[in-house]
Structure 1
């Protein structure tokens, strides 16, 4: 595919799905500005490495992979800051966020990152198991097992 055409298709995909990308980044950072920074950095990385995209048909999983990894990197770099965020601030800033149930949000925050990522991608972004496996570079059965474990942990967390 021609260089410019591939880049234009990626740009169009990013523009079309920017709200979804923001929701994912926000689910990790719990802050509007930080989520925007994560999305911006993800877009930069994607556009910088657009020639590494082999098939334009796989742009969705390719970009989600960049976004999830950038979000996780952000969390690791800013761990002290994230742990100090006040829960009332999350509710005020989360007006555009898809999460409506505070108990669910808190339970998700208690999950390990690999479980949280799978739950968000599966239930909030409505991705298929095979797409999630591709994004996370994991075996499909591993994703299924982690999803089942995450749901079990969420159920226990919410019931308590």
Structure 2
């Protein structure tokens, strides 16, 4: 049993200091995930706070300590989707040009084109790509978070990449044609 799993067991048993320690370790990942969904700082902070509150209130329901991070990410994603559902917001492509996924991502044209393409995808495809490539989760972890079979997650990942290639191919072929 890892040190993290020991802290999770203590948290499940009611040790709030252990839980706060674990939440501090996950805070950047949670914020990044929230921001990747809601795409603005204020909403991302709200999602983060709601996620932490829900985690504190429901840690006693976590059955397997080794799935703490997966469980926490699932809460964050569900809260993010709930915020988006409540707002029924439509983000224009112009808004996306001026926002980045996180402070770690450079604002190069290619990365912005990639983000724009990702945000054009259906939710199931976007979620797999964001968790896989921006949160560095394995397909197994993503399947656990989403509660879907691993085959479905892998298929959605492959379909998402195919759709991204089609979207980006159109952008870059059009630009090359203009220059010639």
Asked if these proteins are the same fold (TM beyond 0.5), I'd say: yes
Cα displacement string for residues 41-89 of structure 1 (whole angstroms, at most 9, x for unaligned residues): 1111111111110122210110011011111111111123x43583355
Task: Give the stretch that moved more between structures: 100-109 or 7-16.
Answer: 7-16
1: CA distance, partners of 2:121 / 2:19: 32
Q: Give the corresponding residue for 1:11.
A: 20
Task: Give the stretch that moved more between structures: 11-20 or 141-150.
Answer: 11-20
1:129 maps onto 2:139 in alignment: yes
Q: Give the corresponding residue for 2:103.
A: 96
Residues 43 and 133 of structure 1: CA distance in aligned 2, closer, same or farther (over 3 Å): same
Where structure 1 has 5 or more consecutive residues not aligned to the other structure, the ranges are none
Q: Give the corresponding residue for 2:76.
A: 67
Q: How many residues align?
A: 156
Q: Give the corresponding residue for 2:161.
A: 151
Q: CA RMSD in A?
A: 1.9
2: CA distance, partners of 1:98 / 1:18: 18
1: CA distance, partners of 2:43 / 2:166: 30
Pick aligned residue for 1:50 from 52, 59, 63: 59
Pick aligned residue for 1:83 from 86, 91, 99: 91
TM-score w.r.t. length of structure 2: 0.79
Q: Is the 8 A contact 2:35 2:102 kept in 1?
A: no
Q: Greater CA radius of gyration, 1 or 2?
A: 2
Q: Give the corresponding residue for 2:31.
A: 22
Identify which of structures 1 and 2 has the higher relative contact order when contacts are C-alpha pairs closer than 8 Å and 6+ apart: 1
1:116 maps onto 2:126 in alignment: yes
1: CA distance, partners of 2:22 / 2:167: 36
2: CA distance, partners of 1:38 / 1:132: 19
